[in-house]
Structures are given as structure tokens and as C-alpha cells.
Chains A and B, each alone.
Chain A
Amino acid sequence: APAGAAAPPVRSTVLRAAMDGSGVDTLNPFLAFFNGALETFGMVYPSLNSLDPSGAPGPYLATKWEPSADRLTWTFTIREGLKWSDGKPITAEDAAWTLNLIMTDAVAGTANGSLVSNFEKVTAEGPATLVIKTKAPQASVPYVSHPMSGIPIVPKHVWEPLAKNLKDAKNDVFPLVGYGPWTLTEYKQEQYAKFTANKEFVLGPPKFDNLVLQSFKSGDAAVAALRSGQIDYKAGVNPTQFKALQADPKIAAVRTVGNGWMGLEINHNARTRSGKKIGTGHPALGDPALRKAIALATDKQTLVTKVIDGVGRLGHGYLPPAWPQWFWTPAQPTPYDPAQANRVLDEAGYTKGADGVRTDPKSGRPLAFRFGIHSDDAADAAISGYVVGWMKEIGIKLTIQSLSMTALNSDLAKGDWDLLMDAWTTGPDPTYLLGIQSCGTLPKDDGTGGNTDSFFCDAAFDELFKKQLTTFDQGERAKVIGEMQEILYAANVNQIYYYADGLDVARKDTVTGLTLGKPDADGVYPSQTAFWSYLNAAPATATTAAKAEGSGSGMTWVAGGIALVVVLGGVLVWRRRAGGADRE
């Protein structure tokens, strides 16, 4: 470890945090999908860019990035003098090698292949210049490699020998050779990851000497650990926990702008790329009036207050508010108006039967829909109760189907569904999320090749999608993206309910400075990434940290001792009584 190797016994400071609930699937950065893994890579592998608090690309390995005039070539200027943790210099060649590997090797592209699918050629022109040639103009190139959701750059000299059998590369030689604010020194799957600080980190040294991420499967266990001083920080608590911790004077609880949405998808017309109808979706859902009525009858505000206890925002647009540059709100939001919803339906000819369920005049079928929810998602279950109730009010009958994620996705891909609960989070580059609403992601006629999210397919939307890809001016691009969101909003196929706030909690007595940026009027901070949080965090006072820990374990032993004595005493007393009497 670089820190404090020669120094006399100065007590080193440790930041103890709960690992992202998803955990680390694998430490192989080419294969990993889980957020816990991405979070870790962000700390131990460098990327070309970083993200500033507004979500825009900032300098990291690259100090400058410029598109060429034809907008097909990007030139990144790579910082010089940086060294991997094993002392070898970091050069443009490392980045070029990493990106090329992902472009050319199918296995290497498992996780991030789609980010570079438009790349023609990546070359290192000298140690400080990286040139990326794209097939078509691509505005999002500066978003391709950034901490968290972008591509981490790996040291070529370490990975080159592994590239032949990348699938089996577990990347488990510690300390991991990398570069970042931290160095991974120890890792036990599903238990913890230990890091030491890289005090020479180019974007500023971490204030803690060590970082420990501990895995908790249950949120309550993590919170209990936080309360008892086992850990200092946990990102991502649920609203109930948040409210409870807000009331705790020892705990700092902050809200950050949400980077995802929770919403409803409607199978309005499942079909293949060639337009062949597939699946068992209810035909009436193809009617925009019906979808509009569903939107009108949904009381999103109630969902915000009841399901997430008010810690979130009402949803409209398709992209979450975490990325203000793309955030869009409709000029005329659809209100909650069940009466109007009923009117709309009446007008469209959906007549109510004796049982209160309307009938589709075209197919003659009642408006009875399957409503798929994720069985492992508490919010889905909670929301579904409300939605069923509201839809009943307007003569629509929903039958909840609680399905495992896999089953749900498999139904979705086959078009065997009517309504689904859905949720997405996204990084700063909206391309992918927008992409899955384009016609190109519909399945082929043989059922394969699909990656659509709701079978949405709209020519105008696709046109704009292509346009935003090549719009290099951020403002311009935002406008195009706004138009796309408008189309989606009007179609009512993806009905966004809310954007839940990110909820982070930390111990006041041990850690400060975790949050980045300034809160808005509601006290909500900008979206946070682990990269900045752990980099900014500073020990509150080293001594309190030590004390809290010491007293915790001391108490434990006292309590354990007392319990033991009580048990033993009880046992002895019983023994006396049982065996003492000299009779049979």
C-alpha cells in the first residue's frame, strides 16, 4: 500500500460503506453488469472522462477531447506522467488497447460492446494522443468512458496475456493493478472489498486512508450496522428507512435527484420488425384513447406520497432529472382526472357492462388486462394495488401477475402481456434508453433479435433518434431529445409515474463531505456517484471513529458475558433442582 508504509503508527482512517445492494457479480470489467461491480471499477480503473456535478463530461485521463471537422474523428489528449499502481506509466496505448479489445473481441464486448459499436478505429498516436474514428458521427463519444456507467481503461500489460481467455479471467490478483482514487487490496465476494487510498490521485487525493465496502443483502441489516457504528455510509436506502433515519440526530440523510423512473408499459401493438403481429396482447390497448384514459385515471401524486413517502418527483418525461441537460417536462401535463377518463372511454365507445367492466367495441372483448409486476420489487407490488383500484373506477379490470424478472422479460419479448410495471435508470448518455424505443429493436420474424422495451415504433421518433446521435451541440441535442420525449409522452405507451430520489445516509460523527453540489430549494442534491462520494468524504474526527468502534465491541462482550453467565447460572440451578433430590 502506498499510504503510510514508512510512517510511524499514525492511526489510519477508514471509510466504511455499504456496498451497492446488487453486489459485485465479477471483477472482470469486461463481463460485469452489476452496479456494485461498476462502482468498484470506477474507483480502481481510470476512464477517459469524468462527470461533473451537472452530468457533463469532465477531464480525467483525458485533459482535452475534440471532434474533427467531419465529426468522424475524436482526438483525446491523454495526461502524461500518471502511473498504474504497479509503477508502469499510463499511456494512450492502454486506452486504445482496451477499446480495441472491446470492439474486436466478442467476449470483451459482453458488458460494453454497444458503447463502441459505432467505432471504426481507435489508435494511440503517441503516449498522449488517442484518436477515435467513428463510422458515423457520434455526439456521445465523451460519454463512452467515464466512471460508473462507461468503459474503464485497463492496463494493457496486465490484461494482454489474459485476453486470450477473457471469459475465465477472474481478475483476482491483489492489489489489483489499476489507477484511480483507490486501490483494491482485498476482496471477498459477497462480503467486502478493501481499498487503500491513492494519495497521488490526479483529481485530488481521497481524504480517508482506506475504504471498505461491505456487502449487505438486507437493507435493514445495513441500516442497523450504520446505526450501531459498524459502517459509516450507505447509499440507496428506501423511503421508510430514510424517514426513520432523518429523525436520527447522529445520522445525516440526504436526498439526491433520481436517475431513474418507475412507470407503466402498455402493450399497444406487439409486432415484429416487418410488422407481423405477435403475442397475446389485448387489441384494445392499441387505441390511443384508451391509453390516454389510463393515464388520466392514474393519480401519480398519490403514488409519490404513498409509495415513496414523498421522496421523489412526479414523472412525466422519459429521461430522469438526474441529467438536467436532457430533462424534459411537458407543457401540458396530463392531469389526474378520472371523470375525464371515463368520458374519453365513453366517447370511444367502450360501454360499461353490468359488472362495471367496459367492453371493447371492436373486438367485443371486455377490458380485462393482465398486469405484470416484478415479484421481487416491493414498489411494484405497492403500486399495483393502487393502479388496479384506479382502473376499476374507469371500468378496466386488471389481474395482477407477479412474475420473476426472467419470466416477465421473457413474456415481454414474446409480446405475451398487456400491462407491465417497468423501471429504468440511466447514465448521462441517454442513447441506449432512447434506443430501445426505436423500431430497430423490434424482434425479427423468427422471434429473435429483439431488444425492445415496449414494442414502441414510430417513424418520427426514429428520425429524431438518428438526428440526436449526430448533433454535437449539447443544447441542440437536448432539444431533439426533448422532442423525442414529447412523442413518447403523447403515445402513452410508457407512462412514467415518478422519479424516486436517491437516498443516502451517513454517520455524522465519522464522516463528512460525502455529497457533491448544492441542494435545490427542496433540499435535494444533484445526482451522486460513488466515485465522487468516496473521493470527497472526509473523516469527521479520527478519534470518534475509533471510539465508536471500540465501545461497540466492548458493549458486545459485556452483554455476551452477562448472557452467558445467566444461561450457565440457570442451567446450574436447574441441575441442582433436577438432580439434587435423592429419589427416583
Chain B
Amino acid sequence: MKRSGLWGIGVLAAFALLALTAPLHIGDDQLDVVRVDGPRLAPPSAAYPLGTDLAGRSILHLVIWGSRESLSIGLIATALTVLLGTAVGLLAGHYQGRIGQALMHVTDWFIALPSLPLAISLSAVLGQGAASITIAIAVTSWTATARLVRAQTLAVEARPFIERARALGAGNRQVMLRHVLPNVMPLVLVSSTLTVASAILSEATLTFLGLGDPTSVTWGSMLQTAFSGGAVTAGAWWYLMPPGLAILLVVLGFTLTGRAVEHLLNPRMVQHA
């Protein structure tokens, strides 16, 4: 279990490194269709280790470049998700009166909304592009965090140390921020790694469905272009595989990392390890 977590972290670190250093070794001239002069949809060769796309650009460069946007959409969407979900969940769990009820109802309503169609509808309405996809993902996934946080908040608040804090004179803010939040946060962080994973998947899916910006380079848009451009017929596996595998690896990386951390945090699982 731990080993797979290390693998996950390793993969993520590698991709993060690639994404961060991409501008250093990939210039404009390698991505700008006007300036590249590679053959159209050529299979892998020495010059193009992963072949070329329909415009003659190196797939390798595209995949590396694509990690930037794919990862940032995933991370930003997750940040929004965690922020919103934690706030709502914490308040709903702490104030079990009318506020909590209302918040929980809102959460329940949102949970009843199917995420992909909602995301599709939202980004169809908000217009194409990364921003609306990010928002759509956040809007559709915060409920899970909110539920988790609420459940955890309830669990934590049922524990005697909250009662002790109250007996010591702690107010709502103190209880929420000093006692509940620190105890809830580790789990939220774990779940957020899983959120990143599904956010990246959602990004790819939404882009594939044509809701992304077709001119930007993301893994999803590469697959979309490959799919609509006939790469399947052309047997251009070098165009289809790398972005898909990149998604798979990153998602798997986040998932494994999340699970490994969860394993560490959840003593019950560790007991059986």
C-alpha cells in the first residue's frame, strides 16, 4: 500500500516537474502551427519520439504542454471545491439548527443533480473554455466534500473534547476553527486528492464533448481533436495513446497518493495492513 503511494507521488512529481519546466524547453516555434514543419500525422520517429499531430506538431511536446492546463484546471477546480465544500459542510455540521438544515438541503439538492449533465449544461451556458469548465467542475463536485466535512464535523462534534472546550467557554468560532477544522482537514485533503483526479477526468470528458476551447492544448482537447480528426481510422495510435495515458497516470497518481495518505490517517485500515 505504501509502495503504491510512493509510486503515485513519484508520478505526480514527474508530471509537476514536466509541467513547470515545459516553457524552458518547449518554445513557441514547436507549438505554433504556422512555424512547425513536421509531417502530418507521422508515426513516431527519431525526430518525433511520439509522432506528430494533424498539424505536424510533436505529440510529445503537446502532451507535455497539455499537462499545464490539464493540471491547473484540475487543481483550481479542486481548490474551489474544497473551499466551498468545507465551508458549507462545516457550517451545516456545526449549526444543526435552521442554518444547518438549510445548507444540508441545498447540498442534497445539488447531490441530486447528475454531475456530468449539470457540468455540460453549465459550460454550455457559460460558454466554451477553461474557466467555465473549471466552474462547472467545482459546482458539481463540492457537494461530496460538503457531505464528507459535515459527516466528519458531526463525528468530531460528538466527541467529548468539544464538550470540554465548550465547558471551558469556547464559542462557535473557536470550536469550529480550533477544534473541528484541524480534525477534519486531513480527511478533506485526502479526499481532495481524489477530487483532483476526478476533476482531471471531468475536464477531459467535457473537453471531449466539445465544451472546451478547441484551440488550447490540453489532454482532453488533444483527444477530442484526435477523435474528430479521424485518428482512429488512420490508426494513429501515437496520437490517441499518449494523452489518454497521461490522464490515466496523473489520475492514478492522485488516487494512489490519496489512498496512501488515507491509509496513514485511518488507523482502522492500518490495523489490518
Residues of B within 8 A of A241 (CB): 230, 233-234
Given contacts A385-B32, A386-B33, A402-B129, contact A245 B233 (CB under 8 A): yes
B214: A residues at CB distance < 8 A: 373, 375, 378, 380-381, 402
CB pair A381 B215 closer than 8 Å:
yes
Interface residues of B in 13-33 (CB under 8 A from A): 32-33
Q: How many A-B contacts if CB must be within 8 Å?
A: 91
Chain A, interface SS category: helix
A244 beta carbon closer than 8 Å to chain B: yes
Given A378-B225, A385-B55, A404-B234 contact (CB < 8 Å): no
Decide if B210 touches A376 in the complex (CB within 8 Å).
Answer: yes
Interface flags for B226-252 (1: CB within 8 Å of A; 0: not) read: 011111111110000000000000000
Closest to A305 in B: B40
The verdict on A240 contacting B231 (CB below 8 Å), with A376-B210, A385-B55 known, is yes
From A219-227, A443-451, A467-475, give the one contacting chain B.
A219-227
| A164 contacts chain B at the CB level, 8 A cutoff | no
Flag whether A537 is at the interface (Cβ < 8 A). no
Contact flags (1/0) for A382-396 with B, using CB distance below 8 Å?
101110111000000
Main secondary structure of the interface of B (DSSP, over half): loop
Asked whether B40 lies within 8 Å of A389 as measured between CB atoms, the reply is no
User: Which of A373, A381, A390 is most buried by chain B, counting CB atoms within 10 A of its CB?
Assistant: A381
Partner of A403, one of B34, B56, B127, B235: B127
Judge if B124 is at the interface, Cβ distance under 8 Å: yes
Contacts of B235 in A (CB 8 A): 244
Assess whether B128 is interfacial by the CB under 8 Å rule.
yes
The answer to whether A389 and B211 touch across the interface, beta carbons within 8 angstroms, is no
Given A375-B214, A386-B33, A390-B34, are A219 and B55 neighbors across the interface (CB < 8 Å)?
no
For the complex formed, measure the closest distance between the CB of A245 and the CB atoms of chain B, giving whole angstroms: 7
Nearest chain B CB to A547 CB, angstrom units: 24
A24 contacts the other chain (Cβ, under 8 Å)?
A: no
Taking a contact as CB atoms closer than 8 A, the residue among B33, B129, B212 that contacts A382 in the complex is B33
Closest to B41 in A: A240
CB contacts (< 8 Å) of A218 on chain B: these are 227
Q: Report B-chain residues with C-beta under 8 Å of the C-beta of A420.
A: none
- A238 interface hit (Cβ, 8 Å): yes
Are the CB atoms of B233 and A389 closer together than 8 Å? no
Within 8 A of B (CB), among A355-393: 373, 375-376, 378, 380-382, 384-386, 388-390
- Which interface class (under 10, 10 to 19, 20 to 34, 35 or more) fits B? 20 to 34
Partner of A384, one of B54, B215, B230, B232: B215
Measured CB to CB, the closest approach of chain A to B216, in angstroms, equals 9
Say whether B41 contacts A386, CB under 8 Å: no
Interface residues in B118-150 by Cβ distance below 8 A to A read 124, 127-129
**CB-nearest residue of chain B to A407:** B127
A240-B41, A306-B55 known; A386 vs B230 contact (CB < 8 Å): no
Q: Which residues of B contact A223 (CB under 8 A)?
A: 230, 232-233
| A219:B40 contact, CB within 8 angstroms | no
Q: How far is the CA of A239 from the CA of B55 in the complex (A)?
A: 13
B2 close to chain A: CB less than 8 A: no
In the complex, whether B213 has a CB less than 8 A from a CB of chain A is: yes
**A245 proximity list for chain B (CB < 8 A):** 233
Residues of A with C-beta under 8 A to B35 = 389
Q: Is A412 an interface residue, CB under 8 A from the partner?
A: no
Q: Which residue of B lies closest to A218 (CB)?
A: B227
Contact B41 A382 (CB under 8 A): no
A402, B225: Cβ atoms closer than 8 Å: no
B42 to chain A, nearest CB (A): 12
Closest 8 CB pairs between A and B? A389-B34, A240-B230, A381-B214, A220-B232, A241-B230, A385-B33, A241-B233, A244-B234
Supply 6 A–B pairs (Cβ within 8 Å), ascending by A. Answer: A220-B227, A220-B233, A244-B233, A306-B33, A306-B54, A402-B214
